[in-house]
Amino acid sequence: MRLWTIRTEQLAALQGMLELQLADRAAAYVRGEYPATCAALDEPTIRGSVQTALAKGATYRFESEETLFAYLDLMYLLGFDFDLNPRRAWVRATLNDFDLGARTRLLLLVEQARAREGRANGSEPA
Amino acid sequence: MSGVSIIQDCPLKWTLSAQVTVDAAQQASSAAKVGKIEISIAEQDGTTIVRHALLGQSGESPVECVLTGHEAKSYSLSAQAEDGKWGTPAPFKVSLVRGQAQTVSLELESRAAHGVIDALNADEILEPGDVLIKFEGQSSTFAEKVIKAGEKAVKALSGFFHEGIKKGDPTCFHVALYMGEGRTAEAYGGMTTALVGTRVIDAHAGFLFRIYRCQDRALAESAVKVAKTWANERMKYLPPVLVPFQLASFGPKARGEALVFGQESGREGGPRSFAKMFCSQFVIAVYQAASVARQLQKSPRMISTDVQMPGGLDLHATNSSPLALHARLEGAPTDWKYIDEVLVRPQHDANAGRSVLVEPGRDVTGDLQPLGNPTEKRWPSGEWIYARNPWSLRAFEGKIYVGSGNSNNPPPAANAGPVDLWALDAASGKFPDKPEFEVPDEQVDVFRLLSDGLWIPGHDSKVTGRNDGRVTGEGKVKRLLRQGKTLWNFLSDWDAGNAHHKAPGSDWKTWRTITNGIHVYDLIDYDGALFAAIATVLGGQVARSRNRGESWDEFLTKPLPFSRSRTLFVLDDDTGPRLYVSTNGGRVYRYDGDNPFVEMRVNFFPGISDVKEVFAARPTAFRKQVVYIAGRQIIDHDWAPLGLFAAPSPDSARAVPLPGGALARDLLVHDDVLYALASTQPSARSTRVHVFSTRDLKTFTELCFFDAGTFARSFEMLDGDFYFGMGCDPELLHPHTGRISKLPAAALG
């Protein structure tokens, strides 16, 4: 029996298309979760934040859509450069603790960030 | 390309996800923060994969995929906090097949509660400043027995002295002050070695304490500070033999004494005029010092008649026994709250937190056949019980040889040699009327079955004759004569170390040829020569004989006096078999043919932080590894087990905790199976002896267990039958020590 072969170029094209769709969903997510913050930002900045989060996936070893959105939550709760901000040092211990799975690290950080910011249920920072 | 995966996983996989939960109320009521959690995923062949989890505010960790695969598999999952204080009560078994996604919820329970404490969890039940009253267990030290005898007499006569004493329980016999972080301050130890210092609460393993808490928390904190300042081992222990017969009331003398305590509350090592204290005196004194120091801050010129004392502490410290203190605390409920009765967890493996649970083995308690106690006649009672410890059992030529004696210089049973070597006839199950050989050493600690027969390393040379006068009782003159003779003789005893050899079919022969070999701890065959682990005045050494003991060359390992080469073992590396020696201080040295041996910079006892007095006891070759018990020196040469370890090479040692954290005490290998003798203590008054077996050092099976009054120190196997030798620790002398029992192979099914 002859198997179908998917060429590398075809895979890359598929990946690119899915990435675009993911970026669209991520941008929609932050607009829905953090409307006030997004109202003050232009579209390229929002898109840029999503690209930043996508790129951080390799550094902080998260892969799923859920963890990408969690990383965006952290960016919108703690600041876009929260992972480098010396005032957010408490984040780094957990973020870089690769003994823990990505879901554990990011979901718990979001929980802590919301508790620290005193804004439960995903309400955005002032 | 981003790091985020876009392509979905293959749906033909199975996935295993796990979540860890803890009861929020239990977590809230516990002072312990759960922290990072280790999830162990064990395959049937013993391979274990480790993942980690962290709890959220709700007491649940996020669900995390921990494993994926294609082929059908079964796993056993367990979880525990990294500090060992929380864990799953039992492993959770799961089977996975292709296309299935399973999520397992692992609920952690606190391991602190239920009144069992140890150094790890003590802070969850105890608070600094708590007064701990120790109660009579099945076994006690000699000093504790003296106190108890006095307490009972006082109780009977209390009508003449002090009505309040009737509130006390005469079985209380020791008092300690809890300092926090698992440590106590107390006057402690045996009759001759005791002092006022701090120690880990685990030192009271197996005993019951009643906890009394001072309701004035500031006073409790101050008392802890005073105790820290005083308990630096300057003060010695005062055996309180006559104390219970004196008045304990808080009269003028007591007030004067309390004023001194207060004035000297900050003096390192305690009040200048007190060179000794006993347990209850120390605890009362530190509290009185804290209380009076506070009063002195307000009235620096106060005199003794001005001294006020809170309820429960209004005692004359120097005249107050544990019974008197207990009675006072019971009678002062507004100042002192009774918290609980706790059992200090019996000793367990240092890495018990990483152990798993297995199906219990066969209960063979009723199948044990008592074979006698060969050393009981010579050492019938008292401190001499300690010398009956069957340090090792070894089968040779149809007999089971029994180690015994004691080479410690301090009591109990100091320098008990020469040793009668008893050999059980395994066929008849009987000991002969007379010992087979008198070993001219203070102790027979181990037997080594080498290429040319059975060997006994000469633990501590004793060639100057036998004198059992101390056992049968001796007068002052005889004692002085003996002590003088001992001083004179020790030069002869130290002149050379011994190695005793029994070739098949021959009599025992002693080689007294190891120059200055004060202690010969181990013997091994290596590279065609006989090697001995020894200790001399120079320190740890290894002696090599190329003519089976006739003469020796000596090599240095760990220098300086009191350094000791304790055990020898061989491990293969790229170049072939290599000889290693384990010394005290947790060190390992390698023999490269040169003098001195080469020190290996390795952590041979992972999980044990203080290795100052630790060495690898019972090294046993198994599957190209050495399996060994971390042994911590107790007095001089004897050791207490801390945990089981294995190493294919010195730099890759790992903990191998036995199921349930059972404490390993002896090892043997038969037919490619490693057997581990271990013990646990289900309650203060019972010990459970376990035999575990493994073929791969990954999965242990409990072969059998039996309940006994004390632990089994050694075991041996011959023709499928097990032989056990019952032992005891120096602080817990037990009348069954020295008993030898047989478990017939038939009992194991």
Interval A1-21: pLDDT, tens: 566 777 777 777 777 788 889
pLDDT given for residue B28 in this prediction: 59
Q: Do A55 and B7 touch (CB under 8 A)?
A: no
> Contact B706/B368 with Cβ under 8 angstroms?
yes
Q: How much is the pLDDT for B165?
A: 40
Q: Give the whole-angstrom CA distance, residue B678 versus residue B374.
A: 23
Distance CA A69, CA A67 (A): 5
What is the three-state SS of B413-443? CCCCCCEEEEEEECCCCECCCCCCEEECECE
For position A87, what pLDDT does the model report? 85
Residue B440 CA to residue B324 CA, distance in Å, equals: 49
Q: Is the Cβ–Cβ distance between B298 and B307 less than 8 Å?
A: no
Side-chain-side CA neighbours of residue B116 (13 Å):
15
> For residues B32 and A83, is the Cβ–Cβ distance under 8 A?
no
A22 contacts in chain B (CB < 8 Å) = 4, 6
pLDDT for B32: 52
Question: For chain A, give me the number of helices (H) and strands (E)?
Answer: 6, 0
* Residue B649 token pair: 């090479």
| Stretch (H or E) spanning B718 | strand B712-718
Other CB atoms within a 10 A radius of the CB of residue B745 amount to: 13
Nearest residue of chain B to residue A20 (CA atoms): B6
Write the residue in B6, B53, B63 that is nearest to A19 by C-beta.
B6
The pair of structure tokens assigned to B275 is 């060179």
Q: State the DSSP code for B264.
A: T
* CA-based nearest residue in chain A for residue B50: A99
Q: Is the pTM of this model over 0.80?
A: no
Separation CA B324–CA B248 (nearest Å): 7
Cα angle: B346, vertex B387, B705; to 5 degrees: 40
Q: Identify the three-state secondary structure at position B342.
A: strand
CA distance B37 to chain A (A): 10
Residue B236, burial from CB neighbour count under 10 angstroms (0-12, 13-18, 19+)? middle
Query: Partners of B49 in the beta sheet?
Result: B41
How many angstroms separate the CA atoms of B255 and B308, rounded?
8
Q: Is A29 exposed, middle or buried (0-12, 13-18, 19+ CB in 10 A)?
A: middle
Q: Backbone phi, then psi, for B657, in 5-degree steps?
A: -65, 140
Length in residues, chain B = 749
**Which token pair is B595?**
């003098």
Residue B592 to residue B572: CA distance in whole angstroms:
13
Task: Yes or no: say if B211 and B340 are a contact pair by the CB < 8 Å rule.
Answer: yes
Q: Is B575 on the interface with A (CB under 8 A)?
A: no
CA dist list (Å): B94 to B91, B631, B679: 10, 38, 30
CA distance B724 to B624: 27
CA-to-CA distance for B73 and B13, rounded, in angstroms? Answer: 12
All residues at 6 or more sequence positions from B71 whose CB lies less than 8 Å from its CB, including other chains? B98
- Sites in chain B below the pLDDT cut of 70: 1-11, 24-32, 45-46, 83-85, 89-90, 110-116, 120, 136-172, 189-194, 206, 239-246, 345-347, 352-354, 474, 479, 482-493, 682-686, 731
What stretch of H or E contains B103? strand B101-110
Decide if B56 touches A, using CB distance below 8 A. yes
User: Edge-to-edge, what's the strand order for the sheet holding B236-237?
Assistant: B116-117, B336-344, B208-214, B131-135, B172-180, B183-188, B195-200, B236-237, B276-277
Give yes or no for B238 touching A (CB within 8 A): no
| DSSP notation for B379-406 | S-SGGGGGGG----EEEETTEEEE--B-
CA-nearest residue to A98 within chain B is: B52
Number of A–B residue contacts, CB under 8 Å: 66
Separation CA B685–CA B708 (nearest Å): 9
Q: Is B245 helix (H, G, I), strand (E, B) or coil?
A: helix
B contacts of A51 (beta carbons < 8 Å): 2
Neighboring chain B residues of A114 at a CB cutoff of 8 Å: none
**Interchain proximity B53–A100, CB inside 8 Å:** yes
Q: Return the closest-CA partner of residue A33 out of A85, A83, A88, A70.
A: A70
- Taking alpha carbons only, the member of B206, B348, B205 closest to residue B644 is B348
Cβ atoms of B704 and B362 closer than 8 Å = yes
**Close Cβ partners of B738 (under 8 Å, ≥ 6 residues apart):** B373, B374, B375, B376, B379, B385, B388, B389, B390, B404, B725, B726
Instruction: Determine whether the interchain pair A18/B7 forms a contact, defined as Cβ–Cβ distance below 8 Å.
Output: yes
pLDDT of res. B681: 72
Å from A48 to nearest chain B CA? 13
B242 in contact with A, Cβ within 8 Å: no
- Between CA B543 and CA B263 the distance in angstroms is 58
Instruction: Tally Cβ neighbours within 10 Å of residue A86.
Output: 6
Mark yes or no for CB contact A19/B51 under 8 Å.
Answer: no
Task: Write the CB contacts of A54 (distance below 8 Å, at least 6 apart in sequence).
Answer: A19, A22, A23, A26, A68, B2, B3, B4
* Spatial CA neighbour of B344 closest among B137, B631, B633, B643: B137
- Contact check, Cβ <8 Å, A101/B6: no
Chain A residues within an 8 Å CB radius of B51: 101
Which residue in B386, B366, B392 sits closest to B449, CA to CA?
A: B392
| A117 min Cα distance to partner chain B (Å) | 15
A-chain CB neighbours of B54 within 8 Å are 94, 100, 104, 108
Q: Are B562 and B591 in contact (CB under 8 A)?
A: no
Name the closest residue on chain A to residue B37, using Cα atoms.
A100
Q: Does B54 reach chain A within 8 Å, measured CB to CB?
A: yes
CA–CA gap between residue B737 and residue B264 (Å, rounded) = 46
Task: Give the model confidence (pLDDT) of A77-117 as tens digits.
Answer: 999 999 999 888 889 989 999 999 999 999 999 999 998 87
Residue A8: predicted pLDDT: 79
Count the neighbouring beta carbons within 10 Å of the beta carbon of residue B160: 8
Two tokens, residue A39 = 């109202």
What number is the ipTM of this complex? 0.84
B6 lies within 8 A of chain A by CB:
yes
**Interface check B61 vs A, CB under 8 A:** yes
Q: Minimal CA–CA distance to B525: which of B460, B588, B461, B453?
A: B453
- The DSSP call for residue B467 is -
Nearest chain A residue to B61 by CA distance is A104
pLDDT of A11 reads: 74
Q: How big is chain A, counted in residues?
A: 126
Nearest to B62 among A58, A59, A108 (CB): A108
A65 neighbourhood in chain B, CB within 8 Å: 4
Residue type present at position B747 = A
- B6:A111 CB<8 A: no
Q: How far is A42 from chain B (nearest CA, A)?
A: 23
Rounded to 10 degrees, the C-alpha dihedral B280/B281/B284/B285 comes to: -150
Measured between CA atoms, the residue of chain A closest to residue B62 is A104
